[in-house]
Structure 1
Amino acid sequence: MAGIDESKEFLALRIAVMAVSDSRGLAEDRSGDTLVQRIESAGHSVAARVILPDERGEIADQLRVWINDAEIDVVISTGGTGLTGRDVTVEAHRDVYEKEIDAFGTVFTMVSMQKIGTSAVQSRATGGVAGGTYLFALPGSPGACKDAWDEILRYQLDYRHRPCNFAEIMPRLEEHKRRK
């Protein structure tokens, strides 16, 4: 049965938050604020926060910086996952993924369908792994960030969640690099 195993110790993760927007600054970043509040309320820490323009190269470069930072376990971006010409966050994420978490987008769509109906098809939320770091790209609305955190990420980033979770397999994400 799925749920939190209270007999296990909580392990706090270090999570970086990136907002992608050509028009917002930190003061107007309601989606980033939503994520920060939820990350901290869950007991994790916000390791870094930035706002970048909708530029594929800049987004991918920042992801690489954070992937190479031993003080960051997870990156969550918000914005740039739609269908317009300036929406390039998904492509930037895929530029750096070693493995894509295909079911993340599917489960996000299922959650979104319950809230916004068929408009959920316009989201290209994605998740992946690179350099032992989890990467998630969420739509730019506070509601989408709330839904993704409350329905998926808060469980998968909690070491105590059963039957399984992303946090417990973090030490094995780069096992292929170990010598045999």
Structure 2
Amino acid sequence: MSRSDDTRDFLPVRIAILTVSDTRTPEDDRSGQTLVDRLQAAGHTLADRRIVQDERDLIAQTLRGWIADPGVDVVISTGGTGLTGRDVTVEAHRDVYEKEIDAFGTVFTHVSMAKIGTSAVQSRACGGVAGGTYLFALPGSPGACKDGWDEILSKQLDYRHMPCNFVEIMPRLEEHLRRK
């Protein structure tokens, strides 16, 4: 079972928050603010925060900029993971992934099922890695952001979480680029 190893020091990570929406503003972005509040309360650093429209190329461009930025370790986006024609966040994420974290979407669905039942099938939450940066796409509701953070990301982005976590393997995400 998972547990916290309090003999290990907490290692804060630098997290960028991206809200994907045609209508949200900084003043009414409740989902983005939910993620900011939670990551800061956990002791992590807000590296950047932006709102972009539901445009695949714009989303991918924003993700690529943060992937190239050594001051960003993790990107969490909210919004655009549904089934409508404007929901293109998942496609934009997959445009930049080097590796997809398949189980992230599966675990998110499991968590959502406990909260919203079979409506969870309408979410396409996903996760991946590119350029040594973790990228996660969550649905656009504050409740989904709370669930994704509280039940999955808060634990996997905590170096003390055992038996394993994303933080401890960060230094090895780009080992394939090192000369042999």
TM-score range, shorter chain: over 0.9
Alignment of 1:84-163 (within 5 A): 84-163=84-163
The one-letter amino acid paired with 2:111 is: V
Query: Partner residue of 2:48?
Result: 48
* Distance in structure 2 (CA, Å) of the matches to 1:94 and 1:170: 20
Query: Which residue is 1:19 aligned to?
Result: 19
CA distance in 1, matches of 2:153, 2:3: 13
4+ residue segments displaced more than 3 Å = none
Give the alignment's TM-score, normalised by structure 2: 0.99
State the distance in 1 between where 2:78 and 2:59 align. 11
Distance 1:9 1:76 in 2: 23
The equivalent residue for 2:67 is 67
Give a deviation string over 1:51-109, Cα, whole Å, max 9, x none.
Answer: 00000000000000000000000000000000000000000000000000000000000
Matched pairs, number: 180
Query: Distance in 2 between the 1:69 and 1:60 partners?
Result: 14
- Helix, strand or coil: the match of 2:134? strand
2:3, 2:32 → 1: CA distance? Answer: 27
The root-mean-square deviation of aligned C-alpha atoms, in Å, is: 0.4
- 5+ residue gaps in structure 2? none
* Residue identity in the other structure for 1:56: R
Question: 1:34 is matched by which residue type in structure 2?
Answer: T
CA distance in 1, matches of 2:82, 2:99: 21
Structure 1 residue 3: Cα displacement: 1.1
Distance 2:112 2:159 in 1: 25
Q: Give secondary structure in 2 for the equivalent of 1:27.
A: coil
**Deviation sequence 1:111-146 (CA, Å, 0-9, x none):** 000000000000000000000000000000000000
Q: What is aligned with 1:58?
A: 58
TM-score scaled by length of structure 1:
0.99
In structure 2, what is the Cα distance between the partners aligned to 1:3 and 1:168? Answer: 15
* CA–CA separation in structure 2 for the residues paired with 1:142 and 1:168: 28
Deviation at 1:2, TM superposition (A): 1.0
Distance in 2 between residues matched to 1:51 and 1:59, nearest whole Å: 10
Alpha-carbon distance in structure 2 between the residues aligned to 1:172 and 1:119? 37
Partner secondary structure for residue 149 of structure 2: helix
Deviations 1:32-68 (A, max 9, x none): 0100000000000110000000000000000000000
